[in-house]
C-alpha cells in the first residue's frame, strides 16, 4: 500500500481516507492519478475491514454492514467538491459530522442525505443500517471521546501537525 498504512478497522480506514483525500483530491491541489490510486487502496482495504469495528472501550468486534466502499468515497468527494468555507468535516465512528458555518450549504447537505441535529448544531450522516438503541443524549465532545475524531484542515494537515509546525 502506497498511501494507506496501519489501519485495523473500518472507522480507522475512513479517517485515513478522508485525511489523504484532502491532500490528493484534484479540487484540493492533488492529481487524478493519485486520487485513483488512493481509491483503489481504499476499495481493497474496505473489502477486508468492512465488518471490523472498535467499540468505545477500544475493543475490536465484527458486525456485518450493508455499506459499500463507493458510498463513503462518493460522499467525501461530493463534500470536497462543494469547497465549503468555515466548515469542518469529521469522521466520528461510522458517522460523518459537519460543523461550522453550514447555513450556506444547507440545501446541498440535504441533497446528500445529511440530517441536522439542533442539539449539537451539526449536520450528520449515519450508516444506512444505523438504529439508535439508547435514549441517552451525548454532546459532540462525549461522542468524540468515545469513538475518536481527527480534525483535518483543507490542506490535509491535522490540527496537531499545524501546532508543531
**pLDDT tens for each residue of 87-119:** 988 888 778 899 999 999 999 999 999 999 998
Length of the chain (residues): 165
| Closest C-alpha among 39, 149, 25, 40 to residue 95 | 149
pLDDT of 133 reads 74
pLDDT of 52 reads 82
The phi-psi region of residue 89 (left if phi > 0; otherwise alpha if psi is between -120 and 50; otherwise beta) is beta
Chain segment 25-68, per-residue pLDDT in tens: 887 788 889 888 999 999 998 888 888 877 777 777 787 777 77
Chain segment 111-165, per-residue pLDDT in tens: 999 999 998 999 999 877 777 777 888 888 888 877 777 665 544 444 344 344 4
Cβ within 8 Å of residue 162, ≥6 positions away = 153
Q: Show me where the domains of the chain are located.
A: 10-164
pLDDT of 127 reads 79
How many contiguous H segments (helices) and E segments (strands) does the chain have? 6, 6
Structure-model confidence comparison of residues 151 and 86, the more confident one: 86
pLDDT of 150 reads 64
Q: Are 65 and 23 in contact (CB under 8 A)?
A: no
pLDDT of residue 70 exceeding 80:
yes
pLDDT of 157 reads 41
Amino acid at each position: 500500500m502506497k498511501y494507506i498504512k496501519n489501519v485495523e478497522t473500518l472507522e480507522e480506514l475512513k479517517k485515513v481516507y478522508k485525511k489523504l483525500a484532502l491532500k490528493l483530491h484534484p479540487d484540493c491541489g492533488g492529481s487524478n492519478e493519485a486520487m485513483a490510486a488512493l481509491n483503489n487502496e481504499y476499495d481493497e482495504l474496505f473489502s477486508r475491514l468492512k465488518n471490523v469495528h472498535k467499540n468505545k472501550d477500544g475493543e475490536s468486534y465484527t458486525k456485518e454492514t450493508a455499506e459499500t466502499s463507493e458510498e463513503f468515497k462518493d460522499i467525501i468527494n461530493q463534500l470536497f467538491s462543494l469547497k465549503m468555507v468555515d466548515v469542518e468535516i469529521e469522521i466520528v465512528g461510522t458517522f460523518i459530522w459537519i460543523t461550522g458555518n453550514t447555513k450556506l450549504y444547507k440545501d446541498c447537505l440535504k441533497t446528500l442525505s445529511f440530517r441536522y441535529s439542533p442539539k449539537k448544531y451539526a449536520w450528520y450522516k449515519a450508516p444506512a443500517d444505523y438504529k439508535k438503541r439508547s435514549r441517552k443524549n451525548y454532546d459532540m465532545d462525549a461522542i468524540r471521546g468515545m469513538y475518536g475524531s481527527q480534525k483535518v484542515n483543507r490542506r490535509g494537515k491535522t490540527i496537531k501537525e499545524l501546532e508543531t509546525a
